[in-house]
Amino acid sequence: EAGVAQSPRYKIIEKRQSVAFWCNPISGHATLYWYQQILGQGPKLLIQFQNNGVVDDSQLPKDRFSAERLKGVDSTLKIQPAKLEDSAVYLCASSDGTSGRFGETQYFGPGTRLLVL
């Protein structure tokens, strides 16, 4: 079974530029998550999708970050314009919800490492 795919793996941009990340979840997984992991910290949830609907985006900086999950499969996360403090690893995860909602396992992709100069 293929895992969660993310691209690109690395990205270097200058501040005020825009950037987009792509995620393809495990086939059949209805729930998709985007996390931000700043160096030395644990991942922080940015947005959660259930199929193509947003469940939770309370921690997404909506003035510069946007995300979509058209057709309920793959997803893109965009930052426009980027700031220095956006330098982090952006992780995508998916789950199928069969283990019960709060005990379910999330499967993570390898992440995209973003450096904003």
Partner 1 sequence: GDSVTQMEGPVTLSEEAFLTINCTYTATGYPSLFWYVQYPGEGLQLLLKATKADDKGSNKGFEATYRKETTSFHLEKGSVQVSDSAVYFCALRTEGGSEKLVFGKGTKLTVNP
Query: Which residues contact partner 1 (rule: CB under 8 A)?
Result: 3-4, 33, 40-45, 48, 56, 59, 91, 93, 100-103, 105-111
CA 58, chain centre distance (Å)? 14
The C-alpha angle with vertex 13 and arms to 67 and 73, in degrees rounded to 5, equals 25
Closer of 33 and 65 to partner 1 (Cβ): 33
- Give the nearest distance from C-beta 17 to partner 1 in angstroms: 26
Taking the C-alpha atoms of residue 71 and residue 109, their distance in angstroms, rounded to an integer, is: 20
CB nearer partner 1, residue 17 or residue 50: 50
Closest approach, Cβ 110 to partner 1, in A, equals: 5
At its nearest, how many Å lie between partner 1 and the CB of residue 60? 12
Please say which residue, 40 or 53, places its beta carbon nearer to partner 1. 40
Closer residue to partner 1 in complex, CB, 5/20: 5
CB of 49 to partner 1, least distance (A): 14
Contact 93, 5 (CB under 8 A): no
Among candidate residues 50, 39, 93, 85, the one with its CA nearest the CA of residue 65: 85
Count Cα atoms within 13 angstroms, Cβ side, for 46. Answer: 25
Residue type, 89: V
